[in-house]
Structures are given as C-alpha cells and as structure tokens.
Structure 1
Amino acid sequence: MLKKVSFSRHVEKDWLDQTALWCTDNLDKKEIVTKINTMLTPWITCKINLGKTRNQLTSIWIDIPGNIPSRFQKFACDKVRGSSDIPLAIHWGLLIAKKKFFAEVARFIGRTTKLNCSFTYAQVQKRMVELYGDTETVKRHLRSVLKTLVEFGVVIRSSSRSYQVADRKLVVNSDLKNWLLYSLLISEEVMSRSLPDIIDDAIWFPFDFNVQANEIEQSWFELHQQGNDLVIFRK
C-alpha cells in the first residue's frame, strides 16, 4: 500500500511565523482562516491555490490530528507566544510530526548531502517515486517541498534541476531539543529509538543539533541503557 502524499503547496517562513502568532492569540480557527486569507491575497491570486496554501498553514499550526499529543502542540504555541524572532526549528518540528512526505524528502536530502553538499531534483524524485508511487501528484508535492526548503534558506537552487544545502547550520535552542526528538518519534510512529541514532538522523541537516544524555528531560522521555545503546522512550 502506497503512502499518502500531503504537501500540495509551498509555505514561506513569514507565513508560518504569522500563523503561529495568531495561534497564540486565543482566536478560533474561523478567525485565523480569515486573517490567513487576507495575508495571502497579495501573493496568491488563484483562489484554489490560496485555499490549498491556507489549509497547509492551518494543518501545521492549528489542526491537531489524533496522533499528535495536545501537549506537543501546546509546547510549540507557548514557545512562540510574544516572540519577535521565531526559530525555524519550531516550524521544522511541526512539519516533521505532521507532514510525513516533508520528513521523507528532508531525510533523503540530508543523507545525500552528507558527503557532497549538492543533489539533483532527479535524485529526490527517484526516491519519492519509490516510496509513494510514480504519479504527477507525488512530483507536484515534491516541488512544493523543495520550494519550501529554498524559501527557508536551508537549500539553495543552483540551477533548474540541481540544488545544494546551505553552508551555515542553524543553532537549536536547548529548550527545543527534547521537543524536536519527540517530533521525530511521532513522525515515525514509534515509541522509542536509540539516542545516538536519532541525533544522527539526516533529517536534522539544516541544524547544528546535538543532545547529551544529561539533557534528556523526564517530562518527555524515559532513558534506558540497552546493551551498549542509550534508548529514549517517549511518554
């Protein structure tokens, strides 16, 4: 059975930032949708595309699917409340947890560029077709993910069919580390993973990301020694 693809339109960080701030204003979804429509109208003239982009933003910052613990979403909202500089890592965590297709693309790019900082559209497309099927929907959604990564500044388009990752790695605030680890366990639908393995996951390619065992918080995880491995179990 092929996996579901869900990334129909690209999103920009400014749009995510503003949606996140509205999320903290105690507005209901209908009010936020109206504000998003107003925000996007100068940039997107097609009503269908505007609707898809709006739905993308609300699915990331407002909607809480059944597999997402409410405290995970609340943590993100609490962290951006009153913030004038929202770190990309918060959006990244929500995208990983809620958008499996985005996570798969990001991980493939991270793996491909570990030794060589460049990659081609054809390389990513080949992998996504293997995972999701050879359909126009998959290719269109892949283009949306790549455009989003370019807008984030973590991927640079060097030609019409080739890309490279940005040299500068983004610093992750210490108070986000456990939450980010949790986001990946949600994405993978697992309860545990080796700590060294999850830290080394290629999905973190835009970030300077490292977590020591003494940084694991008991509010999020239990930490156990299994053989030579430290394993985190999400609560």
Structure 2
Amino acid sequence: MSKQVGMSRNISLDYLNKTIEFMEIEDDFEKVRENLREYIGLYIDDNTNIRKTANILSNIWLEDDKENRKIKDYAREEVAKSSNSNLRLVAHWCMILITYKVFEDIASVIGKLEYMQIEITSKLIREKMTDMWGERPTLIHAIPKNIRTMRDTSVLETVKQGVYKVKKHRVDDERAIILIVATLIHLKDKLYLSFDELIDDSLMFPFDYSIDVGVLEESNMFSFDRFGGELAISLKENFK
C-alpha cells in the first residue's frame, strides 16, 4: 500500500496555538473542530481549504490511535498546564511528526542535510523525497506546504528563494525533553534507542537539548537497560 501524503496545507503556528487554546476551554473535541473552522474562516475564504486545514489540525492534536494515544495524551496534558512557548513548539513539532509521515520524512531530509553542512534547497528536498515516495502529484504539491509550515513555525528561515537555513531553539523544559525522547522512540522501528541516538537524531534538527536520565526515570515512561556498556532506553509497554 502506498503511503498517504495527508498534509497538503501549510499550518501556521497561530493555528496550532489556537487549537490548544480551544482544547483548554472545551472538552468536546467536536466543538473544538467547529471553533477551528470558524477561526480559520476569518483568514481563508475557500470552504474546501478551511475544511482541509481544520482536518489537519484535528489530526495533529485531537485524533489518536492505540499506538500513539499515550504520547498524545501526555502532550495534551502538559501543554494545557503551561503557556511556555518553547514547550508548545516542541509539542507541535512532535505531534506533527507522529501524525504525518510526509512531514517526518521531510524533517529527516532537512536534518541530514544540515548535519552534512549541505545547502538546504527546495530542489534537493524534492529530489530526496521523490526518491523515497516516487513522483506523485500529491507529493509535489505537499512538499512546499510542509516547508512553509516549518517556516511558519520558526524552525526554518529563508536565505533566498528556494534556499533555507535552520533556526535552532534551545530546549531546557523537562517536559519538552521527555516528549522529544518519547517521540523518537515511538517513531523508530527499534526495540530501544541508545543515549547518543536520542541526542543526534535528524528529526529533531530544530532543537538543541541535553538529556538527564534522572528526569526520564522520574517520568515513569521509560525502561532502561545496558548492552555492551551502552545505555539503552525504551518506552514502557503501557506507553507504546
């Protein structure tokens, strides 16, 4: 089965934050969806685009499944308790990664280009993505929308037309770091990740952070082992 692109509209930080605001005042997620459609309608005229944008936001923050429910519940709970903009940015980023594979793959491409100190261009991102996904009109349409989302959430900056640089954000909030670690473990097809893998993964290219094992232990979300002297971290069964 071919991968679904799904995220075909650019999503602004304002829309993402407004979703959280609506969640804080309304327990009924259907009402949150209605509020989102009304709010987006203040800025977008086309009903189809209003619906698509609201659906993407809903998928990111309101929808879950048995595999990601625990992590999304944790993110929803923590952002509801805090107005920390840094935590919210990390939470938005992690929830989009978990929800949309196309966004995850574009983030991985950009993170690797940055690590190799190769110029980040729309052309190169498109080439790498079509190598992975194939030449599909829906993908070609979605790639600039996902790049625009990264610009609108202040993790990419435009150098010139079609050329970008990464805008780094320092992350010190313990809840944000817990969410980064949980997201990376969730997304990787491995039983566990090493400490070094959790620090240097390309998916988290916008963030500078360090990991305190004590903080992870206190969260009660992770299990710890040692293999060949190397610390291995995994999600507990009840968080998978």
- TM-score past 0.5 threshold: yes
Q: 1:141 to 1:223 in 2, by over 3 A?
A: same
Q: Which residue of 2 aligns with 1:147?
A: 148
Alignment of 1:87-106 (within 5 A): 87=86, 88-106=89-107
Q: Which residue of 2 aligns with 1:165?
A: 166
Q: Secondary structure at the match of 1:57?
A: helix
Alignment of 1:57-68 (within 5 A): 57-68=57-68
What residue identity is the alignment partner of 2:146?
V
Aligned-residue offset at 1:138? 0.8
What residue identity is the alignment partner of 1:20?
I
Q: Which residue of 2 aligns with 1:3?
A: 3
Q: 1:222 to 1:18 in 2, by over 3 A?
A: same
Q: Tell me the distance in 2 between the aligned counterparts of 1:94 and 1:63.
A: 10
Q: Tell me the distance in 1 between the aligned counterparts of 2:18 and 2:152.
A: 15
- Identical counterparts, % of pairs: 23
Aligned-residue offset at 1:213? 3.1
Q: Which residue of 1 aligns with 2:75?
A: 76
8 Å Cα contact 2:26-2:32 kept in structure 1: no
Choose 146-155 or 84-93, whichever is displaced more.
84-93
What residue identity is the alignment partner of 1:29?
F
Q: Secondary structure at the match of 1:50?
A: helix
TM-score, scaled relative to structure 1: 0.91
Aligned residues: 233
8 Å Cα contact 1:2-1:133 kept in structure 2: no
Q: Tell me the distance in 1 between the aligned counterparts of 2:27 and 2:215.
A: 34
What residue identity is the alignment partner of 2:151?
V
Q: Which residue of 2 aligns with 1:176?
A: 176
Aligned-residue offset at 1:103? 1.4
8 Å Cα contact 2:158-2:164 kept in structure 1: yes
Q: Which residue of 1 aligns with 2:30?
A: 30
Unaligned runs of 5+ in 1: none
Output the aligned Cα RMSD.
1.9
Q: Tell me the distance in 1 between the aligned counterparts of 2:166 and 2:119.
A: 6
Q: Tell me the distance in 2 between the aligned counterparts of 1:214 and 1:152.
A: 30
Unaligned runs of 5+ in 2: none
Q: Secondary structure at the match of 2:10?
A: coil
Aligned-residue offset at 1:11? 0.6
TM-score, scaled relative to structure 2: 0.89
Q: Secondary structure at the match of 1:216?
A: helix
Q: Which residue of 1 aligns with 2:235?
A: 234
8 Å Cα contact 2:171-2:177 kept in structure 1: no
8 Å Cα contact 1:223-1:233 kept in structure 2: yes
Q: Which residue of 2 aligns with 1:13?
A: 13
Q: Deviations over 1:19-41 (max 9, x none)?
A: 01222334312211111011111
Q: Tell me the distance in 1 between the aligned counterparts of 2:217 and 2:178.
A: 7
Q: Tell me the distance in 2 between the aligned counterparts of 1:171 and 1:101.
A: 25
Aligned-residue offset at 1:215? 3.2
